[in-house]
Structure 1
Amino acid sequence: MSRPSSHDKTAPEDPWGWLKDVAAIVTPLWAFLGAVATPLLEIGLGAFIAAVVAIVILTVLVVVVQRGVRLGRIGRAVVWLGTTLRAFFRGVWSLIVSPVKWIAKGVRKRADPLTAGAAGFAAGVLAVVLVLAGTSAVRLGLGWVTSSPCGQPLELRALTSAENVVGLREAGRRYARESADLRGCPRVRLSVTPQPPLATMARAANRDWNDPVSWNGKDYRALIALHPDIWLASSAATADYLERAFANLGQVRFDRMSPVATSALVVAFTPTLERRRGTQSLPTSLPGLRKWLKSVKAPLARPRADLSEIGLIASSGLYGSDTSQDIADEIAYTPPDLPLSDAAGLLCDVRDRFDTEKESLAMIVPEHLVYAVNKRQVLGACGPGHQGPNLSWSPLTELPALSYPFVRLKWANQWNERREQAAIDFHDWLAQDKLSEYGYRDPAGVFHRNEPMPLGKALPSRKADSGASAKDGPGDPIAGLIDRLGKAHPETSLLLLVDESGSMDNPITGGTALQTASSGAKTLLRRLRDSPDTVKLATFSSPGGAGQTVVTGMDQVNRRLGTLAVHGSDAPLGDVLALAAPQLEDAPNPVIVMLTDGGSQSGDLGKTVAALAKVQGLRIRLLLTGEQECGAPHIKRLLAAVGELIRCARIGSDPATPYQDQVSEVDKELTKLWRESP
């Protein structure tokens, strides 16, 4: 018997051998997909799907190469490409897959090759699941292993109206998280601050973004705010207005992008007023609504148009061509005892009183803020609301909708390609309905959340835009409206009298009486109009009466308020008024605001009355910042002697309602002063 030759000896063929190689190569591919799944999904679902498709194609390619499938010319090309890449795959296998192969070898000893291949595929899928389930941990781990500590993110500075601050700020935080790198380090940080009044911004733009009130030739200039990279306007018309002002400012380029959201201006009703309505259909026209509100003795409020962009936009629909009723209308739209500097503050005040007062009130506010109230969200001036009755809201045909143009402000020597791309990326992200959870609609006026909205899921086409644009006709309608409303409120000459006596250092809720006085005075300054209004400051204590140092000008007064210090003892309040009043003789619309803890003496009231009588049209506000009430005996004597010229109010914080601080109380007093303007 002849001995068989070696080449006649054949080993048993492994029919699943190709699957082992496929599993060894494909497993790391799917594991890699798992590692990058989270950042891909943050970029967008399309990026993730594209990666899946690419790896599926590679998997098919590997199978084709291993099986030697012939598909004609295409098949030969694929086999050639696969063969060419075989070295690459082997390199990856030797460098990365060795541990996987070692584990698979142990598995194959106990299972057939098909099971081993399936286990490899399952391992890749499990990696995807683990990454998606443990996003933060995996990203943090990868970053810690592969990268250096987080660097400083790029800060984008944004201005917007007070009504938008919370929504934009929260969206910015979310964007910072979603656009972070694999380590979780944010690439961008958004700082959002409420904007000054539009007229202030326009005048500042013509003076290199400096505060018009502080402008003093070449001696002193103060910015009205940090140079913003982004301005989220509330309408196309207000964006047009400010763009005209920026046209004269050479150091900045005004670059408007498409809107990122919409919101309707609506009439919101307190629960008490809603109950009084019953089953009656609400009028949707302004005359009908005002007639009905008059019949139920309920006021209609809107934010002050000189302070609030929202109030200004609302006024464009509320005011007709007849200007003879402007003063009466302003009085009607600014009811007393309400903070009207912005709609968020107004709704904060009303929300706090849902359970304590049976108040009938209708308010012109943005739809998204009513949504926020009913969802118990943060509004800005106050935190999340308590559980209580919901507001209802209704459309008004005269009110335009709000669109939110995204404006990039490119300041010279501050703008670069990185900042440019960051602003564009944030705009593109924000425009993808990212504000819906805060009650905003998408740029087309559609509300995508599965919740009922009184105005429906989609706004009518005429309401999906902000109304008239300044470019639609001659002149600038916003500039004309600002001028018109300014004429409805005469210029104010304000004299601030601040008590610096030793008792002002006594502690009260939230600080001292002097700190409350300083904060209240600064609030008054912020609420005054920049150009027509004037302000002076005098401090008083005993000895010294009304004080000899008088500071004039809003910025100078504001700086002096930051350096107040107690000295001396209480000065008689009446004597202080008698000494201070002559400073306002011949001044237009004179107003004295005295901020004090109340003191202990009223003074020579005969001299007080005689001195005050010499100032035509004078009005006086006595604002108490300490523990005393307006009913204290010496204060009652002063009020009785001076009569209707003087009113008294407290502006101390109420611990039961923390946000109801001196800001809202001062706003209420200032609103009363406006209503009383001659």
Structure 2
Amino acid sequence: MSAPGSSGEQQSPPPGEVWLRRLMQVLILDVCSSVVIGLALTVFRGTLWLNVAGALVVLAALTGALFYFQPELARRLLERAVAALRWAGSAAVWTLLGAAAMTAVLLAVLGVLGLRDAGRPCGQPLGLRVLTGPEMLTPLRDAAAAFVDGRRRHGCRRYTVDVVPEAGPVPVYDGFTGLWKRGESADSRRLYGPQPDVWVPAAGSEYDFVPKSRNQAAPGGDLRFVRGPSLGTSPMVLALFPRAHRNVTDTNAPLLAPSIKELLDRIARDAGRRRGIARPVPETSTPALLATPALYDADPATPPAADERAASPGDLVAPDAVSLLCRFREQAARGLDPPEDVTVLVPEQALYDYDMGRPLGDRCGPASPDSFVSAKWRLYPYYAPGLPTLDHPFVQVKWRGQDTAARDAAVRDLRDWLVRHPLTAQGLRDDHGEFPLQDDSGEQRLAGLQRLVGEHVLPYQVKLATPIDVQGALDRISEARPKVSVSLLLDLSGSMGGSAEGGGSRLARGTSFLQSLVAQLQANDRIELRTFSSAAPPHDRAAFGNVPDDSARPDQKALVTGRLQALTSGGSDRSLADAIEDADPPAGRRHLVLLTDGQVPATNPDLDERAARLAGAFRNKHPDLRLTVVVAGPAGCGAGPARRIAAALARRGERSCVALTGAPEQEQAAQLLAGLRGGR
């Protein structure tokens, strides 16, 4: 029996509650459907919240119209949808529970595997050796670091990439033709670098300069090259410091000057008196070597010898562009003013690194590009069609006994990675001479340099200019500059085995300096080597360390370099005056470079009398001889026998004594040789 007022069936809710429940169901369905539709539309176009809002308005209008005109049909459709959702909801719950369980199991398995892999020691990564010019060290090292990081497996490195600088086209030529056999000693590693797996020359003409074997394409040879794609292009530019740039810049002038001559004339007219073009030493800098003939040809009325005299002011001699640019940074840090009276010849990419404050190879670290000092020393590039474009080809080097499948695969992996991640992100242009304004990550690349130097400075595209061949450039420079005849006189006494500044022995430091000097000589220069100590008189031409005077051809330079590497110290001091007289250099204009640790007065008795004899009878016999004493010991040129002997044969205006410093030997050798050629 039922209670009063009750029935055996469930009572229907009041009409108001029914409509409220149906309204909530409709809202939930409409909102969920709108989100799904909005997500689907966002895949193609638009913003998520706008798509959701639009779909919700449309669905709400359709639902309202359906309830207004067909309320019974709308009620039945809503009840069926709710019933279907209840069934689907139960199925979805069980499905989600199963998926959660499977996910937990999978995560547990992956965690166990991860712990197992983390506990394992990493294997030895395969090391790759990359040789390139000093200007390309920073971009290639950044790219190599990204490559190594991107190729990690289970947190372990698969590769290491060591990027080292080359010492110029001639040492690279000697290294490859000699199969790097002289690269075992510490001195030679400083000159040649490690035996490379990859070589990125400045231009294809530098690659063509190195001789290839006749069976270059056949496997099994001692050395084979596989030339790959260009890694990016960089035009050579003439750059000015801010004050000169303000006087020269013209918003109405084209960004690319009609010719080098017109550009140089415009700079000379508007920037005031010029001291010359600061150009790296061509023998040690391939970019400078390839650009120098273009400067010679700019004005046919000016002989190349005059152009050569105007290049490389004495205080700005540097072996490569990064050394020159680092000298500017060093002077800026000391609060000096920039040399506004010089024009700077560098690759655009090196100028990008300099102005953007990036590290410059091994020479100097980063700087703040937006600081007042950096703005004061900023360089502004100028372009002309005759200046060559560097194309930086990727060259795989295969050595006998090292050409394994794993190494070959690693080199090809690096090459493919560099193709997919081009060096346009490092300040280079693409194969068409263009620079991208912005990439997908928002990185501005060369456009960042445009922000610093101004809008009307960098052309979007530079027409590619093929450089002259390396041998042709060397011949042109050899014809234009003064010839030098150098006699090297090396102290081999036991004290040369003492420690030098920066580590190593004084003899090792001195022979490394002399090797760099020999490497920068041209074929029509002359070179001889003499050694001296109490056990090795310099007049004994048959002694092992002595090499007779001859033209500085590759075989003569190789002979001198080989002897320098094989020398050891021994015996007591031989007085410097006796060594110079016994050397008796050949007649004619001759430069005598005496390298010693300075010695002491005890081993140079009657120093004043001997110095007077040098200044008298010896000078009369050799009126055109110029003596330069290079001191590798701690005393330097300030005191001791070295200073007295150098002063005895010094001529007015000539620097007769040089002390080796902590700077790279290659840079110091370039400065000394420039002084010998120019009479400075």
User: Would you say same fold, with TM above 0.5?
Assistant: yes
Q: Give yes or no for contact 1:205–1:246 (8 Å, CA) kept in 2.
A: no
2:529 alignment partner in structure 1: 536
1:482-561 alignment runs, 5 A limit: 482-489=474-481, 492-500=484-492, 509-511=501-503, 516-529=509-522, 533-540=526-533, 549=543, 550-552=545-547, 554=558, 560=564
Q: Give yes or no for contact 2:595–2:632 (8 Å, CA) kept in 1.
A: no
Q: In the aligned structure 2, how far is the partner of 1:458 from the partner of 1:339?
A: 27
Alignment equivalent of 1:267, drawn from 232, 238, 259:
238
TM-score using structure 2 length: 0.66
Q: In the aligned structure 2, how far is the partner of 1:653 from the partner of 1:312?
A: 27
Structure 2 residue 444 is the aligned partner of structure 1 residue 446: no
The 3-state SS of whatever aligns with 2:392 is: strand
Q: In the aligned structure 2, how far is the partner of 1:140 from the partner of 1:298?
A: 71
Alignment gaps of 5+ in structure 1? 1-110, 131-137, 215-222, 471-476, 655-659
TM-score using structure 1 length: 0.66
Q: Give the stretch that moved more between structures: 260-269 or 196-205.
A: 196-205
Q: For the structure 1 residues 350 and 639, does the alpha-carbon distance in structure 2 shift closer, same or farther, using more than 3 Å as the test?
A: same
Q: CA deviation at 1:287?
A: 3.2
Larger radius of gyration: 2
1:24 alignment partner in structure 2: none
The 3-state SS of whatever aligns with 1:524 is: helix
The 3-state SS of whatever aligns with 2:490 is: strand
Q: CA deviation at 1:430?
A: 0.8
Q: Give the stretch that moved more between structures: 643-652 or 171-180.
A: 643-652
Return the letter of the residue paired with 2:669: V
Q: In the aligned structure 2, how far is the partner of 1:210 from the partner of 1:495?
A: 26
Alignment equivalent of 2:226, drawn from 238, 243, 255:
255
Alignment equivalent of 1:605, drawn from 591, 606, 611:
611
2:322 alignment partner in structure 1: 344
1:321-360 alignment runs, 5 A limit: 322=300, 325-356=303-334, 357-360=336-339
Alignment equivalent of 1:394, drawn from 368, 381, 391:
381
Q: For the structure 1 residues 643 and 352, does the alpha-carbon distance in structure 2 shift closer, same or farther, using more than 3 Å as the test?
A: same
1:180-219 alignment runs, 5 A limit: 180-181=152-153, 183-202=154-173
1:118-137 alignment runs, 5 A limit: none
1:320-469 alignment runs, 5 A limit: 320=297, 322=300, 325-356=303-334, 357-360=336-339, 361-387=342-368, 388-390=373-375, 391-397=378-384, 398-444=386-432, 445-447=434-436, 448=438, 449-450=443-444, 451-453=448-450, 454=453, 461-463=461-463, 465=464, 467-468=465-466
1:100 alignment partner in structure 2: none
Q: In the aligned structure 2, how far is the partner of 1:123 from the partner of 1:455?
A: 61
Q: Give yes or no for contact 1:338–1:667 (8 Å, CA) kept in 2.
A: no
Q: In the aligned structure 2, how far is the partner of 1:395 from the partner of 1:516?
A: 40
Q: For the structure 1 residues 173 and 547, does the alpha-carbon distance in structure 2 shift closer, same or farther, using more than 3 Å as the test?
A: farther
Alignment gaps of 5+ in structure 2? 1-88, 186-190, 548-555, 602-606
2:86 alignment partner in structure 1: none
Structure 2 residue 600 is the aligned partner of structure 1 residue 623: no
Q: For the structure 1 residues 259 and 386, does the alpha-carbon distance in structure 2 shift closer, same or farther, using more than 3 Å as the test?
A: closer
Q: In the aligned structure 2, how far is the partner of 1:126 from the partner of 1:455?
A: 57
Q: CA deviation at 1:301?
A: 1.3
Return the letter of the residue paired with 1:520: F
Q: In the aligned structure 1, how far is the partner of 2:619 from the partner of 2:484?
A: 17
How many residues were matched structurally? 529
Q: In the aligned structure 2, how far is the partner of 1:247 from the partner of 1:323?
A: 43
Q: In the aligned structure 1, how far is the partner of 2:591 from the partner of 2:669?
A: 18
Q: CA deviation at 1:437?
A: 4.8
Q: Give yes or no for contact 1:202–1:246 (8 Å, CA) kept in 2.
A: no
Q: Give yes or no for contact 1:234–1:309 (8 Å, CA) kept in 2.
A: yes
Structure 2 residue 569 is the aligned partner of structure 1 residue 565: yes
Q: For the structure 1 residues 558 and 274, does the alpha-carbon distance in structure 2 shift closer, same or farther, using more than 3 Å as the test?
A: farther
Alignment equivalent of 2:272, drawn from 295, 304, 329:
295
Percent identity between the two aligned chains: 24
Alignment equivalent of 2:148, drawn from 176, 184, 191:
176
1:621-660 alignment runs, 5 A limit: 621-628=628-635, 630=637, 632=639, 638-644=645-651, 647-653=655-661, 660=663
2:597 alignment partner in structure 1: 596
Q: Give yes or no for contact 1:496–1:535 (8 Å, CA) kept in 2.
A: yes
Q: In the aligned structure 1, how far is the partner of 2:115 from the partner of 2:474?
A: 53
Q: In the aligned structure 1, how far is the partner of 2:198 from the partner of 2:524?
A: 26
Q: In the aligned structure 2, how far is the partner of 1:262 from the partner of 1:440?
A: 6
Q: In the aligned structure 2, how far is the partner of 1:414 from the partner of 1:628?
A: 46
Partner deviation per Cα, 1:159-198 (whole Å, 9 max, x = no partner): 21121123223322321221122x2333333233323432
The 3-state SS of whatever aligns with 1:381 is: coil
Return the letter of the residue paired with 1:551: N
Q: Give yes or no for contact 1:238–1:478 (8 Å, CA) kept in 2.
A: yes
2:578 alignment partner in structure 1: 575
Q: In the aligned structure 1, how far is the partner of 2:104 from the partner of 2:656?
A: 71
1:45-60 alignment runs, 5 A limit: none
Q: In the aligned structure 2, how far is the partner of 1:286 from the partner of 1:420?
A: 43
The RMSD of aligned alpha carbons is 4.3
Q: Give yes or no for contact 1:199–1:482 (8 Å, CA) kept in 2.
A: no
Structure 2 residue 154 is the aligned partner of structure 1 residue 154: no
